[in-house]
Amino acid sequence: MIATMSERARLREMITGFRLSAALNVAADLAISDHLADGPRTPEALAEVAGADPDTLHRLLHALATVGVYEERPDGTYATTALGDGLRSDVPGTLRPLARTLNSPALWAAYGNLGHSVRTGENAFRATHGVDAWTWRAGHPAENEIFNQNMTALTSVIAGAVAQSYDFSALSTVVDVGGGQGLLLETVLGRYPHLVGTVFDLDHVVARRPASAELAPRWRSVSGSFFERVPEADGYLVKSILHDWPDEECVRILKGCRRGMSPGGVVLVVERLLDRPADEAETAFSDLNMLVMPGGRERSEQQYAVLLEAAGLRLARVIDTPSPMAILEARESA
């Protein structure tokens, strides 16, 4: 006997968890929660507006209703719930883009090779597709777009916490390294009216202008690779970048920041930390995601300190924020 019946059921649920991920992906892709925002609808009406087969969509809705994402009503209509609302496009911090990132046979194929990664230590995505995830997305604009939307949505719920937890008043210029759509930079610039900021990312990713037009006079957009050079600045924001890469590449990125940094400048690494028990499961599974997709890893404070030292920087302090992310402030080694 492996366990009690309830433990067995729990384990079984874990094993088949991919079915739920797949169902949520399709519901998000069909924008079911958006279509339910104004009230309940029949599966037929939803199928019409979402462009789906009515009977099959009904099966999907029924399955998602059993786990509380939607509610099946006695009159045969479906309504969204508090969980289902999280898949609406218009809610702050929407998880719709996250669910839509699974709309990628390339991702599922890479996850199918997690075992290969564990046996060999290799990055599953590259082993499966022959290129890294960034190069692959450059050739798949729709998936690139969803990935970027997802990063913005995930960053939107922590950007305020980062901006309020660090005092940027001593800096004049800041570069958001691998800043994508620039939301973190916008949040920091919004809080510090004296700051000038640059969002730096790959050409097919970088935001050309800020979402808020009033920040435009203090906003620069530069494209390029952080393995070649990063724009000069007093401060660098490096959020959710180092966890994408193996140690050697992290040191190259950090050395680039150190070279570009004005005297007395700072590198602010913003990451989850492995040694924060409150957030352990999320960070541990993010670590597996880094292994499978970009080929990086989550790290502890101590592991980041070692990387910084190898790049000629020292970890000056670690600032916990009211979010799952910490800020590691690095300065030039003495």
Ligand X SMILES: C[S@@+](CC[C@H](N)C(=O)[O-])C[C@H]1O[C@@H](n2cnc3c(N)ncnc32)[C@H](O)[C@@H]1O
Catalytic residues: 243
- Residue number with CB closer to ligand X (44 or 232): 232
Quick check: 8 and 2 in contact, CB under 8 A?
A: yes
Q: How far is the CB of 237 from ligand X (least distance, A)?
A: 8
CB of 201 to ligand X, least distance (A): 5
The number of residues that bind ligand X (CB under 6 A) is: 16
Sheet holding 233-239, edge to edge: 219-223, 196-201, 173-177, 233-239, 261-271, 326-332, 313-320
Q: Which of 34, 143, 201, 329 binds ligand X (CB under 6 A)?
A: 201
CA atoms within 13 A on the CB side of 80: 19
Q: Measured from the CB atom, is 218 or 239 closer to ligand X?
A: 239
Determine the 3-state secondary structure of 186 from DSSP: helix
Residue selected from 52, 202, 306, 318 as contacting ligand X according to rule CB under 6 A: 202
Query: Taking CB under 6 A as the rule, which mask of x and - marks residues 111-140 in contact with ligand X?
Result: -----------------------x------
Contact 178, 238 (CB under 8 A): yes
Buried-state track 212-242, b at ≥16 Cβ within 10 A, e below 16: eeebeebbebeeeebeeebeebbbbbbbbbb
Q: Which residue, 78 or 147, is less far from ligand X as judged by CB?
A: 147
| Sole window of 54-62, 117-125, 173-181, 298-306 interacting with ligand X (rule: CB under 6 A) | 173-181
Distance in Å, CB of 76 to ligand X, minimum: 41
Interface residue with ligand X, options 100, 239, 297, 299 (CB under 6 A): 239
The site string for ligand X over 244-273 (x = CB under 6 A, - otherwise) reads x-----------------------------
Backbone angles phi, psi at 16, to 5 degrees: -95, 15
What would the DSSP string read from start to end of 195-226? -EEEEEE-TTT--SS-SSGGGGGGEEEEE--T
DSSP string over 7-76: HHHHHHHHHTHHHHHHHHHHHHHTTHHHHTTTS-B-HHHHHHHHT--HHHHHHHHHHHHHTTSEEE-TTS
Phi/psi of residue 175, each to 5°?
-115, 130
Candidate list 61, 95, 241, 273; residue touching ligand X; CB under 6 A: 241
- Closest separation between CB of residue 227 and ligand X, Å? 5
Q: Is 296 among the residues that bind ligand X (CB under 6 A)?
A: no
Question: What count of other Cβ atoms lies within 10 Å of the Cβ of residue 99?
Answer: 23
Rounded Cα–Cα distance for residues 311 and 305 (Å): 10
Q: Which of 225, 289, 321, 323 is close enough to bind ligand X by CB under 6 A?
A: 225
| Cβ distance to ligand X smaller for residue 32 or 207 | 207
User: Contact letters (x/-) for ligand X, 28-47, by CB under 6 A?
Assistant: --------------------
79 binds ligand X (CB under 6 A): no
Q: Which residue is nearest to ligand X (CB)?
A: 178
CB 44 within 8 A of CB 53: no
Work out whether 158 is an interface residue with ligand X (CB under 6 A).
no
Residues that bind ligand X (CB under 6 A): 134, 151, 155, 178-180, 201-202, 205, 225-227, 239-241, 244
